[in-house]
Amino acid sequence: MPDTQLAAADLDATTNKTYDTIIIGAGIAGMYQLYRLRELGLSVRVFETGSGVGGTWYWNRYPGARFDSESYTYGYSFSEALLEEWNWSEHFAPQTETLRYLNHVADRFDLRRNIQFDSRVSAATFDETARRWEVTLDNGERFLTRFLITAIGPLSADTLPRILGVSSFRGQSFHTYRWPHEAVDFAGKRVAVIGTGATGVQVIQTIAPLVGQLTVFQRTPNWCTPLHNRKITEEEQKKIKAGYPAMFELLRRTPGCYIHNTDPRGTFEVTEEEREAFWEKLYSEPGFAIWMANFRDVLTDPKANTLFSDFIARKIRQRVKDPKVAEMLIPKCHGFGTRRVPQETHYFEAYNLPHVRLVDTRKTSIERITETGIKTSDAEYEFDMIIYATGFDAITGAFDRIEFRGTGGRRLKDHWAEGPKTFLGLMSAGFPNMLTIVGPHNASTRCNIPRCIEQNVDWITGLMRAARDRGITRFDATPEAETEWSRHIEELADGMLYTQVDSWATGINSNVEGKTVRRILQYQGGAPAYRERCDAVAAAGYASMVLT
Ligand code: NA7
């Protein structure tokens, strides 16, 4: 690759743009990775598309955006002082508070001096001879680095619907991920929301009381359950702080690093009365208990899953006054928990408001966005605002948007064309010196994500330390290790009901060319088993990798 070598020499001679490590992304993962690598004494540069830190929490400023994980389980665990000084105000904090927290972390650990904001990485090419990456920003600036770490997020490649006329609408329109920094006024407005995933649910329940008229365009209903959020009292605050060590120890043992753990009983091992009482209790509990602490077979045994789905359907019928609307809101094509469970606060009651209406786009499809609103197969609606809560090209989409080229100029996008191929979800054979925090095949996308981010980062930091101490200038996963890990990922997902359902977790996105085939993108063995596998590789001197 003579061009690259020439370019590298040129950069070396004329600029001061060579680093030990470049990190792409200054969200929760990139910030923590930066902190750890600086401790090792490495020169590090972080490139961040946004104008501030926070990633997900920087971008998603839509009304109602908040945690579904208990706030105190979500914050970083690496600094006792940070844990001690930060007070979460609610059990499930809103986006504004989380962004404030991440800014506090950036200030406290003086992270900004190594972060270059407003800088989108467009390409990264491995130079085989020099054993390093050349990283290009979309303004053409180039940098060299021995190691490249992606911290680009699993849900950061937002997608607008592929509907005719999206750009022709003359009113206000927003994708939830690209929400403006300025306040948006809803008073008296005729508003459309397209999409009823976890994001759409948060938006709808929040703006329903504020708007003049709300029309929700729903293609697939989801099994939403109550969040039961509330303020943290002073007494609770003290208990949370005193309980941090025990809580983090618990989080290390649960499959998804949540404070909820699967109930060891099977659905049919208890009497009907016990079952109903247990499910009533779960329905009244905060957060994901209902998803994560349910009977052990609810997500694997179709009969158990149907029975529990019927329980939730009854709740929806009780809460939505119009029986026809209630039926529209009850999923018919997938069982509870086989897609991400949106957590709601008075979501179903929003549909009892006289100015809120629900349109089923499977019955009356959206034909086009017009200058003044939305035209479906049976009506034309006028709106002042359209909100696209239409989700993301998940997990691999952010990788596809950067031109990664490994050995022999091979594109990562091509290497992953039939689905991701990775070792530990942290690297891909033929892409040496590159590590993917929260990458595909990694436990983190089925996890209380900062917990798995910390695991990913700590493991990578161990590898970076070994590289520094042993003078390693190149590492790569072997193709055999990659094949074995990718097979392991498939095996773990075998028998899981979610693999039979279309969702972002199975790689489906109707708005992206080619994302129509379900794939196994996530590690399903649980975070503790994943951690053990990673630790074993490190303990064996990075077995299954070639280090030179
Ligand atoms: P999701 O969960 O992918 O939801 C996107 C929603 O948008 C979903 O209801 C889609 O319907 C709908 N959608 C997408 N394209 C269209 C078109 N063209 N027409 C009609 N409806 C459409 O994304 P979210 O942002 O809600 O959540 C992502 C994750 O962020 C979430 O799981 C949390 O972990 C945080 P579909 O279901 O595809 O029929």
Atom number, ligand 1, closest to the C-alpha of residue 163: 18
Distance, CA of 257 to CA of 255 (rounded, Å): 6
For every one of its 548 residues, what pLDDT tens digit does the chain have, with 9 covering 90 and above?
333 333 444 444 445 699 999 999 999 999 999 999 999 999 999 999 999 999 999 999 999 999 999 999 999 999 999 999 999 999 999 999 999 999 999 999 999 999 999 999 999 999 999 999 999 999 999 999 999 999 999 999 999 999 999 999 999 999 999 999 999 999 999 999 999 999 999 999 999 999 999 999 999 999 999 999 999 999 999 999 999 999 999 999 999 999 999 999 999 999 999 999 999 999 999 999 999 999 999 999 999 999 999 999 999 999 999 999 999 999 999 999 999 999 999 999 999 999 999 999 999 999 999 999 999 999 999 999 999 999 999 999 999 999 999 999 999 999 999 999 999 999 999 999 999 999 999 999 999 999 999 999 999 999 999 999 999 999 999 999 999 999 999 999 998 999 999 999 999 999 999 999 999 999 999 999 999 999 999 999 998 899 99
Distance, CA of 215 to CA of 354 (rounded, Å): 11
Centroid of ligand 1 to alpha carbon of 388 (angstroms): 9
Question: Whose C-alpha lies nearest to ligand 1, atom 12?
Answer: 195
Atom number, ligand 1, closest to the C-alpha of residue 509: 38
Q: Closest by alpha carbon to 451, among 247, 240, 252?
A: 252
Centroid of ligand 1 to alpha carbon of 391 (angstroms): 4
Q: How many CB atoms lie within 10 A of CB 226?
A: 19
- Cβ(39)–Cβ(17) below 8 Å: no
Centroid of ligand 1 to alpha carbon of 57 (angstroms): 18
Centroid of ligand 1 to alpha carbon of 223 (angstroms): 13
Task: Say what the alpha-carbon torsion angle 360, 361, 363, 364 is, to the nearest 10 degrees.
Answer: 110
Q: How many CB atoms lie within 10 A of CB 80?
A: 10
Per-residue pLDDT at 487: 96
Question: Whose C-alpha lies nearest to ligand 1, atom 35?
Answer: 198
Question: Whose C-alpha lies nearest to ligand 1, atom 6?
Answer: 195
The answer to whether the pTM exceeds 0.85 is: yes
Q: Closest by alpha carbon to 173, among 158, 187, 184?
A: 184
Centroid of ligand 1 to alpha carbon of 198 (angstroms): 8
Centroid of ligand 1 to alpha carbon of 288 (angstroms): 19
Centroid of ligand 1 to alpha carbon of 196 (angstroms): 6
Question: Whose C-alpha lies nearest to ligand 1, atom 29?
Answer: 198
Atom number, ligand 1, closest to the C-alpha of residue 201: 26
Report phi then psi at 116, rounded to 5.
Answer: -105, 110
Q: How many CA atoms lie within 13 A of 300 on its CB side?
A: 14
Those residues with Cβ within 8 angstroms of residue 14's Cβ, 6 or more apart along the chain or in another chain: none
Atom number, ligand 1, closest to the C-alpha of residue 388: 7
Atom number, ligand 1, closest to the C-alpha of residue 505: 32
Distance, CA of 23 to CA of 6 (rounded, Å): 24
Distance, CA of 37 to CA of 156 (rounded, Å): 24
Q: Burial of 272 by CB count in 10 Å (0-12 exposed, 13-18 middle, 19+ buried)? A: exposed
Per-residue pLDDT at 16: 62
- Ligand 1 neighbours (beta carbon < 6 A): 155, 161, 163, 194-200, 217, 219-220, 340, 361, 366, 389-392, 504, 510-511
C-alpha torsion sign, points 361, 367, 370, 375 = negative
Per-residue pLDDT at 15: 55
Centroid of ligand 1 to alpha carbon of 197 (angstroms): 5
Question: What own/partner pairs with CB < 8 Å and gap ≥ 24 does 362-369 have?
Answer: 362/219, 362/220, 366/161, 366/163, 366/194, 366/217, 367/164, 368/163, 368/164, 368/165, 369/163, 369/164, 369/165, 369/166, 369/168, 369/169
Atom number, ligand 1, closest to the C-alpha of residue 200: 26
Centroid of ligand 1 to alpha carbon of 265 (angstroms): 33
Structure tokens at 276: 């109903």
Centroid of ligand 1 to alpha carbon of 368 (angstroms): 18
Centroid of ligand 1 to alpha carbon of 384 (angstroms): 22
Distance, CA of 534 to CA of 531 (rounded, Å): 5
Question: Whose C-alpha lies nearest to ligand 1, atom 18?
Answer: 161
**Beta strand extents in 297-446 (DSSP E only):** 343-344, 356-360, 366-369, 373-376, 380-382, 385-388, 403-405, 434-436
Which CATH code, of 3.40.50.1780, 3.40.50.740, 3.50.50.60, 3.90.79.10, is assigned to 14-53+111-157+394-547? Answer: 3.50.50.60
Distance, CA of 206 to CA of 353 (rounded, Å): 13
Atom number, ligand 1, closest to the C-alpha of residue 340: 32
- From 156, 328, 368, 390, give the residue whose CB has the most ligand 1 atoms within 8 Å, as the site to mutate: 390
Per-residue pLDDT at 324: 98
Atom number, ligand 1, closest to the C-alpha of residue 510: 15
Per-residue pLDDT at 3: 36
Centroid of ligand 1 to alpha carbon of 450 (angstroms): 23
With helix as H, strand as E and coil as C, how does 200-264 read? HHHHHHHHCCCECEEEEEECCCCCCEECCCCECCHHHHHHHHHCHHHHHHHHHHCCCCCCCCCEC
Centroid of ligand 1 to alpha carbon of 520 (angstroms): 18
Question: Whose C-alpha lies nearest to ligand 1, atom 3?
Answer: 391
- From 202, 219, 360, 452, give the residue whose CB has the most ligand 1 atoms within 8 Å, as the site to mutate: 219
Atom number, ligand 1, closest to the C-alpha of residue 220: 39
- Cβ(159)–Cβ(511) below 8 Å: yes
Centroid of ligand 1 to alpha carbon of 234 (angstroms): 37
Question: Whose C-alpha lies nearest to ligand 1, atom 25?
Answer: 391
- From 59, 67, 199, 518, give the residue whose CB has the most ligand 1 atoms within 8 Å, as the site to mutate: 199
Helix (H) or strand (E) holding 327: helix 323-329
Those residues with Cβ within 8 angstroms of residue 197's Cβ, 6 or more apart along the chain or in another chain: 222, 340, 342, 389, 391, 504
